[in-house]
Chains A and B, each alone.
Chain A
Amino acid sequence: MSTLIPLYIIVPLGTAFITVFFAKWLPGLGKYLINLALLFLTGLTIYLVIHEPQTMIYRVGGFTDVANIPIAIFLMIDGLTKILLLIISLVGLFVAFYSIKYTKQYTCEGNFYTLFGLMLAGMYGVVIAGDIFNLYVFLEIASISSYALVAFGIEKQQLEATFKYQILGGVSSLIILTGIGFLYWATGTLNMPDIATQLPKHDTFNIFVSVLLISGFGLKAAMFPFHSWLPDAHSSAPSPISAMLSGVLIKAIGIYVIIRLFFNVFSLSYEIAMTITVLGTLSMIIGVLLAVGQWDFKRLLAYHSISQMGYVFLGIGIGMLILSTGGDGKIAALSILGGLFHLMNHSIFKALLFLNAGSVEYRTGTRNLRKMGGLASRMPITSATSFIASMSISGIPPFNGFFSKIIIIIAAIQARYYLLSFFAVIVSIITLASFSKVLKYAFAGKTHEKHNEIKEVPVSMSISMTALALLCLLMSLLIIPSIREVFLTPAINVLLETSQYSVSAIGI
């Protein structure tokens, strides 16, 4: 089955190039093609998750190892990768379906879908690359197409946001490339499983490179001290793109790489684990405090992305702390489960919230919560789905956000990090308050006079939102052990057995 792995690169790239080639003759081709492509890739991913439990390795170009040194470019799919592939495909599919009507307002729709395809190819590439330089190349493909997509409407605000995003993105890419350069210098290889075996253990060099890579990928993931670009970029972008950026991009090119590098490539160290945990906690608290005061619907959501990413880092970080100090493996597994589960859940409900905000903007033309009101009677589907997403992000049962948050909190208590679990509870309560504000000002109350004429959004947009809302409920089922074993347990095992990554890839 591993022969199917390159399809994750071929299909989105092919879609993008075919779209731009036929843009003049068949302007509507791109939007349908990308939907078909994502439908196919979603099916392929679900098939792989269910039928291929073991790690799959693909050597591009068919170059075999020379004297036990892997010289080919590796593409690898293991449990952790599959989770990311699943959320990229699922969220991408619904966002692409939503975009069919939404992008009618732009003059060159074809370019939108070309860039969208390139961004997808970049994200798939980052996730399946087993080679750190190719990871960097795909990361740049994903980032550069996202810079262009943020500015797609070419309004003043969007250009300003994308400029800021490009500058900080460029800085982070430079830091990452420097880090990769140092790694190559020290180990003489770019293959990640091979780097893991060649890397010198516990010395200042490791810490130096780790700091470079944490700051670089932390910037991409909008961790606390590096978060300033995110609220601008994610709130000004066209709404489907905001959903992709907040829902998938920051996870695929930020959090995923941090998790992969610091669990599987570098040996676990207490210092790095502490850094990730502390930065995660700070992101969680500061993100939500900045979000409460916002009146711009999408800006508020963007600040909540920072805060929710903090939860993911908290879960992963506590797991790392326990593993690096040789604590109870069961608690570490629980904590990592919480982090990864929240990563999946966040991609679904945050994508849905951005699509809701997009629908409201599509009909009312404003993002200011004060100028909305009473939209529940005019836009019932948008209102209902955003209620579900809000309850989900605030951690109200039976929606998915509740289960992942409660797992993180229980794990923190079991690991005796009482303060961290206290913060996690408090932040969740503030999140609820913040979303009560959204629901009250946007959807409850009396309808504004100028909004008396508005209708519900077109069917394709409603279908996407409804499907994501259903997923918010269905994802709760992942907590059932037999389902969890298929989706989440393989990913947790990849992280718990840290050296298994190299063993399965190159046999060392």
Chain B
Amino acid sequence: MSNDNQTPEGMTIVVKKICQFMAPTIFLFGIYITVHGHLTPGGGFTGGVIMASAFILQILSYGSFLDKLQQEKWHLELTESLALLCFLMLAVLGLLLATTSVFFGNFLHRGSFGELISGGIIPIGNIFVGIEVCAAISSIFVALLIFKDKEA
């Protein structure tokens, strides 16, 4: 039912254009919330959800094909498990590298309070959590879409 020349129907041109403007902004905002997790309210989970919403907005406005979605879902699952593994590795690195050598131990410079590059391993952990949550929320959405398409 689908081939490369065809594009899915999606919504009207008005919605598509607005989404073209909005989605990158939302995605950038998500990144901002994630990397400032140790300084301002928010963090990996919140930022991840915002980033995922940018993807969801695009899929909703532009429409999608079933086989593309299935491929996309696999990529999302891969990203998700990779981010989780990285997070676990970060915690284990604390065990190996930190001077106190404990699980989740800090092995980076703490920096000075209030700066973006500070807080030791916490911002890095936040980034992995952000990627993980973004991929997880998107893959839940894609899974629901696949379910709906298969039903139809």
Contact = CB atoms under 8 A, between A and B. Distances in A.
B126 to A, nearest CB: 15
B101 interface: yes
Interface string B91-130: 1101100101111111000000000000000000000000
Contact of B102 (A9, A13, A17, A58): A58
A260 interface: no
A18 interface: yes
Contacts of B95: 3, 6
A61 interface: yes
A3 B101 contact: yes
Contacts of B102: 3, 58-62
B104 A60 contact: yes
A153 interface: no
Contact of A17 (B81, B94, B103): B81
A14 interface: yes
B110 to A, nearest CB: 13
B105 A62 contact: yes
Interface string B56-99: 00000000000000000010011001101100100110110010
Nearest to A5: B103
Interface residues of A, number: 16
A21 B81 contact: yes
Question: Which secondary structure dominates chain B's binding surface?
Answer: helix
A10 B81 contact: no
A21 B94 contact: no
B104 A17 contact: no
Interface residues of B, number: 20
Contacts of B106: 61-62
Contacts of B82: 21
Contact of A24 (B74, B94, B98): B74
A62 B81 contact: no
B27 to A, nearest CB: 25
Interface in A20-34: 20-21, 24
Interface string A42-75: 0000000000000000111110000000000000
B3 to A, nearest CB: 25
B88 A10 contact: yes
A214 to B, nearest CB: 31
Contact of A61 (B77, B88, B104): B104
B84 A17 contact: yes
Contact of B100 (A13, A14, A24, A62): A62
Nearest 7 CB-CB pairs, A to B? A6-B103, A62-B100, A62-B102, A21-B81, A61-B104, A20-B81, A17-B85
A61 B94 contact: yes
B103 A18 contact: no
B97 to A, nearest CB: 12
A20 B74 CA distance: 11
